[in-house]
């Protein structure tokens, strides 16, 4: 099974990288760009033999809390794909 986790800074946290890219895009002529936020995406390949999708999801949430995301300043969304 594959899991896809998207991790962004919370909206209240300033995102300097996104800000810089927004300005660069506008300078390149893409004037329709109003705002940019940059995040990380983690694609996990999991061996879920004998594990329910609910348990797999709980596992991935645990990974996010313990290692992948910093819950103080970041929020994440996760999707499970396939079997």
Kindly state whether residue 83 participates in binding a second copy, applying the rule CB under 8 A.
no
For tokens 């609910």, what's the residue? 54
Tell me how far, at minimum, the Cβ of 10 lies from a second copy, in Å.
Answer: 13
Cβ neighbours of 48 (radius 10 Å): 16
Q: What are phi and psi of 75, to 5 degrees?
A: -125, 155
Encoded one letter per residue, x for contact with a second copy by CB under 8 A and - for no contact, window 12-41 reads ------x--x--xx--x-x-xxxxxxxxxx
Whether the CB-CB separation of 78 and 61 falls below 8 Å is answered with yes
> Which residues contact a second copy (rule: CB under 8 A)?
6, 8, 18, 21, 24-25, 28, 30, 32-48, 51, 56, 59, 62-63, 66-68
């Amino acid at each position: 099974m594959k899991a896809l986790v998207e991790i962004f800074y919370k909206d209240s946290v300033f995102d300097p990288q996104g800000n810089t890219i927004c300005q660069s895009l506008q300078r390149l002529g893409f004037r329709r760009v109003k705002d940019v936020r940059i995040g990380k995406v983690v694609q996990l390949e999991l061996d879920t033999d004998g594990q329910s999708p609910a348990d797999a999801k709980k596992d991935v949430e645990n990974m996010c809390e313990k290692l992948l995301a910093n819950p103080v300043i970041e929020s994440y969304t996760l999707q499970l794909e396939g079997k």
